Amino acid sequence: MAHDLDNLGPDLLTFLTERHLATLTTLRPDGGPHVVPVGVTYDPATRTARVITSGTSAKVRHVRAGQDRVAVCQVDGRRWVTLEGTAVVRDDRASVADAEQRYAQRYRLPRENPARVVLEISVDRVLGNA
Per-residue pLDDT of 6-60, as tens digits, reads: 778 899 999 999 999 999 999 999 999 999 999 999 999 999 999 999 999 999 9
- What's the whole-model pTM score? 0.94
Q: Which CATH number does the domain housing residue 29 bear?
A: 2.30.110.10
Neighbours of 107 (CB within 10 A): 15
- Quick check: 28 and 67 in contact, CB under 8 A? yes
Overall number of domains in the chain: 1
The residue segments making up the domain with residue 94 are 2-129
- The 10s digit of each residue's pLDDT in 46-102 is 999 999 999 999 999 999 999 999 999 999 999 999 999 999 999 999 999 999 999
Confidence (pLDDT) at 4: 72
DSSP assignment string, 24-76 = EEEE-TTS-EEEEEE--EEETTTTEEEEEEETTSHHHHHHHTT--EEEEEEEE
